[in-house]
Structure 1
Amino acid sequence: MFFDIGPLELVALVVLAVLVFGPDKLPKVIQDTMAFIRKVREFSDNAKEDIRRELGPEFKDFEFEDLNPKTFIRKNLMNGDDEYGIGELKELRDSLDLRKEMAEVTDLRKDVREVTDAVNGVEPAKAASTAAGASGTAAANGSAATPDRLKKLGAEEPPPFDSDAT
């Protein structure tokens, strides 16, 4: 029926209304309720018309039901062709190839690593072996691996300190 109320529930509501308001007051309560609902609908329609008028002529076909997210998606993204937009979803899924995206990210990481090694003055072949053996070397020496720039400064000299940068 309406609002997911079945016939048995509707009968129970009617019996409850008769018991609460009584058979003599029930018609007056129904009339008052219907008048209130009519006023609310009239107020709502007037508000919609005021909004349409204020938006201007570009929005004369504007429907407030389109503000519902499901309706908006169905109308704008799925073109309303089928109920669930299966065709458009398949096209979207096919256009997003995650394997290709992951390969591009991996290539980008390799490029960044090469640039970092070039800036630090490490040869690419040496960088791979250094990265693989850094944990073993650090464990053997008991200290963390020292970058090349710090080795160039010497063991006695502290690294440069920039008080403005910290």
Structure 2
Amino acid sequence: MFSDIGALEVVALVILAVLIWGPDKLPQLIQDVSGFIRKVRNFSESAKQDIRSELGPEFKDFEFEDLNPKTFLRKQLADNPDLKDLQELRSSFDLRKEIDEVADAVKGNVSGTAVAGSASGAAAAAGSATPDLLKKRDTSGSYDRPPFDADAT
């Protein structure tokens, strides 16, 4: 539960707790909080046992973690052998190729589906006649700046 809290954060929390509640009230506060957590755990365990006893023997393999939609779907997809087609479809989907095609279309480059994403396709796109609008323009030499107008600024 607290696996991402480091030692420095724990020390900072302890110092903050001592400053807020003081060293004389802190042990009683810790006992009260731990007692409350213990009561909540006992209540949830007794509720789980009541639900299991009410459901009957046909739900003996019921796990409350399966009520989480992500866990339920992961379990159903992993255990079902009829979904091999879905796994094959997922493995055949190449997102990088799709992104390259969309990027080429945005840039104005025309490339075939077999060429997009390959190194030769990138070289062909770089050498095409259409200018790349995303690249910085060459300002040395041929480009003349407009005259400076002090009244306009």
TM-score relative to the length of structure 1:
0.47
Deviation at 1:90, TM superposition (A): 6.3
Q: Look up the equivalent residue of 2:53 and give its one-letter code.
A: R
- How far, CA to CA, are the matches of 1:52 and 1:7 in structure 2? 40
Root-mean-square deviation (CA, aligned residues, Å) is 2.8
2:17 equivalent in structure 1:
17
Cα deviation for residue 2 of structure 1 reads 1.1
Gaps (5+ residues) in structure 1?
81-86, 97-166
**For 1:68-87, what aligned pairs fall within 5 Å after superposition?**
68-79=68-79
Name whichever of 63-72 and 14-23 sits farther off. Answer: 63-72
Q: Which has the larger radius of gyration?
A: 1
Highest relative contact order (Cα 8 Å, sep 6+), 1 or 2? Answer: 2
Shift of residue 58 of structure 1? 0.7
More helix by share: 1
Query: What runs of 5+ residues in structure 2 fail to find an aligned partner?
Result: 91-153
Q: 2: distance between equivalents of 1:5 and 1:88?
A: 42
Partners in 2 of 1:95 and 1:56 — Cα distance?
Answer: 40
2:5 alignment partner AA = I
- Structure-2-length-normalised TM-score: 0.51
Q: How does 1:87-126 map to 2 (within 5 A)?
A: 91-92=85-86, 94=88
Give the 3-state SS of the residue equivalent to 1:78 in structure 2. Answer: helix
- Aligned length, in residue pairs: 90
Alignment deviations for residues 60-118 of structure 1 (CA, whole Å, 9 cap, x no partner): 121101112222122111129xxxxxx9876216579xxxxxxxxxxxxxxxxxxxxxx
- Match in the other structure for 1:140: none
Structure 1's 27 and 49: CA in aligned 2 closer, same or farther, altered over 3 A? Answer: same
Partner of 2:26: 26
